[in-house]
């Protein structure tokens, strides 16, 4: 696409691992030029964080998935000469992103107040683990730890089990996405006022916002939301909401009238439960469904449920999903080439005027654009 909305916007990314880099990746997908500022010799720690020991050239596959379509410039933030170059870059940039602890950028003279004097129009965006204040501010901002401390691990899995974390780094992804929202808001505000902005997001606040339904309910009745003991899908929802085993695989049942469900799947035992008790007696209702649904295949149940207009879906693994026409119609995959290898990854999920946003530029080698960027700064100065 020739006219991406962020064409001409320059982003400096002082980030590592996932949250900050994922935010910068989305800005790059939308057309921004993202320059990743990395430590000499080692770079982003995510370069060496391998997924299942998968590597591309000298970098992990993880690094390539969230740093494609960027440039890399190395600088030692403790070196006055390098800091001088960084400040020149800041002067010509639109956005600065970092996901370091609250004191790191300040120690290097790159805190918001200092940087604002260099470039008053800069959108300065930062991700912390727990915010800048309070007794948790210096705790490690790692995804699993945040899921644990915010209660999120008590929303997944059955109530008979202990806490269960999400299978993905949900705090990092949410915080990165919300940082992008804040940055775009800052850019719009700047277009109206000419002024920059400080955008702040924390992993903890992102996960608390993620649980707004549960927390609002908790605030209202001061009771801890309880997971179903059987087929838990969402702590606030009544039976039959959850995933059930069938004769050959699994099926997901969403919100539906339990008496209509009983008629559809010919389960007379469900009729013994009053509809208005679908939440209070959800474990008893789900126990009946667990036994009944194992008598036939997923395809058999789906045919009956979907004909009746009830919300049900098969449970697919990735092999099954990627073979399905419904998945292929979305064209979510894109190919990039790096280190002599072909990497298939996902594209940006946003479409603009019907056009999918793809970018096949591989993640940069450490310091790959050093010479190019230095020359650009010489021309400007």
User: Position of tokens 């995959």?
Assistant: 333
Beta bridge mates, 283:
none
Whether the CB-CB separation of 363 and 46 falls below 8 Å is answered with no
Can you say how many angstroms the Cα of residue 94 is from the centroid of all Cα atoms in its chain?
23
Where in the sequence numbering do the catalytic residues fall?
A: 172
C-alpha to C-alpha distance for 324 and 114, rounded to whole angstroms:
53
Question: Half-sphere exposure of residue 371, counting CA atoms within 13 Å on the CB side?
Answer: 2
Whether the CB-CB separation of 85 and 380 falls below 8 Å is answered with no
Angle at 236 between CA 231 and CA 240, to 5 degrees: 40
User: Angle, nearest 10°, between helix axes 370-380 and 80-91?
Assistant: 70
- Alpha helix (H) residue ranges in the chain: 19-29, 61-67, 80-91, 104-107, 112-118, 143-149, 170-193, 203-210, 212-221, 258-265, 282-293, 298-307, 318-322, 325-328, 370-380
């Amino acid at each position: 696409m020739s006219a991406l909305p962020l064409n001409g916007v320059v982003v400096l990314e002082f980030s590592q691992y996932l949250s900050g880099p994922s935010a910068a990746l989305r800005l790059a997908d939308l057309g921004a030029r993202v320059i990743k500022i990395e430590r000499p010799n080692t770079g982003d720690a995510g370069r060496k964080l391998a997924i299942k020991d998968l590597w591309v050239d000298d970098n992990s596959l993880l690094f390539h998935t969230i740093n494609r379509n960027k440039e890399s410039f190395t600088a030692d933030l403790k070196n006055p000469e390098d800091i001088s170059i960084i400040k020149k870059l800041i002067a010509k940039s639109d956005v600065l992103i970092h996901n370091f602890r609250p004191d790191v950028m300040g120690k290097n003279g790159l805190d918001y107040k200092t940087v604002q004097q260099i470039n008053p129009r800069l959108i300065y965006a930062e991700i912390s683990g727990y915010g800048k204040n309070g007794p948790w501010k210096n705790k490690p901002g790692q995804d699993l730890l945040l899921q644990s401390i915010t209660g999120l691990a008590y929303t997944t899995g059955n109530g008979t089990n202990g806490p269960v974390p999400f299978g993905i780094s949900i705090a990092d992804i949410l915080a990165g996405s919300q940082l992008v929202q804040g940055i775009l808001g800052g850019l719009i505000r700047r277009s109206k006022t000419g002024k920059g902005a400080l955008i702040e997001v924390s992993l903890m606040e992102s996960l608390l916002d993620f649980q707004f339904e549960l927390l609002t309910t908790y605030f209202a009745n001061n009771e801890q939301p309880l997971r179903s003991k059987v087929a838990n899908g969402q702590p606030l929802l009544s039976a039959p909401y959850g995933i059930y085993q069938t004769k050959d695989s699994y099926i997901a049942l969403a919100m539906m009238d339990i008496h209509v469900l009983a008629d559809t799947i010919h389960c007379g035992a469900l009729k013994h439960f009053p509809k208005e008790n679908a939440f209070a007696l959800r474990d008893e209702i789900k126990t009946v469904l667990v036994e009944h649904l194992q008598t036939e295949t997923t395809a058999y149940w789906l045919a009956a449920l979907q004909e009746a207009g009830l919300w049900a879906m098969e449970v697919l693994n990735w092999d099954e999903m990627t073979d399905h026409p419904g998945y292929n119609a979305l064209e979510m995959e894109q190919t990039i080439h790096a280190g002599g290898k072909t990497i298939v990854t996902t594209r940006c999920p946003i479409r603009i005027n019907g056009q999918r946003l793809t970018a096949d530029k591989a993640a940069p080698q450490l310091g790959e654009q050093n010479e190019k960027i230095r020359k650009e700064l010489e021309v400007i100065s």
